[in-house]
Structure 1
């Protein structure tokens, strides 16, 4: 796993955590968007 991939995963996990706290529905949308980007 490259450094860039680790940073991406870490960022994704952090954003996911914040989203879950703020708005569960937003979290689902965010997950879908991230999957589309991959």
Structure 2
């Protein structure tokens, strides 16, 4: 049971990390688009 929870936590953490990096990437692209 604990192992499953750990796996679930890892999945959530990695998905959050991916979402954060995507947001940063999109913001950077948008800023570049505005500047150019």
Query: TM > 0.5 between the two?
Result: yes
Task: Name the structure with the higher helix share.
Answer: 2
Please classify the TM superposition score into its range, dividing by the shorter chain length: 0.5 to 0.7
Segments of structure 2 that go 5 or more residues without pairing to the other structure are 1-11
Greater Cα radius of gyration, structure 1 or 2:
2
Segments of structure 1 that go 5 or more residues without pairing to the other structure are 25-38
Higher RCO (Cα < 8 Å, 6 or more apart):
1
Aligned Cα root-mean-square deviation (Å): 1.8
TM-score (norm. length: structure 1): 0.55
Equivalent residues, number: 24
